[in-house]
Every structure is written in structure tokens, then in C-alpha cells.
Amino acid sequence: MELIAAIKQSDVGDEIEVLSSDKGSADDIPAWARKVGHALVSSENRGDHWAITIKKMK
């Protein structure tokens, strides 16, 4: 998953935005972020895709 690679390469405090047309991402990405200790900044339905922003916390 590209999000995991982006998290690994980023610094604490960085925010990463994921754009996905998969409706499941709106649930799966925030759940994963909580599980591994990162923060959900926003999750927005933009019509044909979701924009989900995660903040690296550790």
C-alpha cells in the first residue's frame, strides 16, 4: 500500500493525503491509522473519490 510507504518516508507531524475511488478506503484507512497510532485529519467525499488525510504521530 502506497500510504504505508509514504508514512515510513515522512517525518513526525507530516500530513499525507490519499485520494481513492474505493468507498472502502473511507473506513479502512482511518481504522488502520488509529491501529498504528497516527491521526485522522480529514475524510471527505469529493463526489467521484475520497480525500483522506493522515498525520504521522510517531
**Tens-digit pLDDT profile for residues 9-38:** 999 999 999 999 998 999 999 999 999 999
Domain boundaries, the chain: 2-55
**CATH code of the domain made up of 2-55:** 3.30.110.40
Task: Tell me what pLDDT residue 49 has.
Answer: 96
Secondary structure E strands in 1-58 = 15-20, 39-45, 50-55
> Cα–Cα distance between 44 and 58 in angstroms, integer?
24
* 21 φ, ψ (degrees, to nearest 5): -90, -5
> Cα–Cα distance between 8 and 11 in angstroms, integer?
8
Task: Tell me what pLDDT residue 30 has.
Answer: 95
Task: Tell me what pLDDT residue 1 has.
Answer: 72
Q: Return the amino acid letter for 22.
A: D
> Cα–Cα distance between 1 and 14 in angstroms, integer?
18
Rounded to two decimals, the pTM is: 0.89
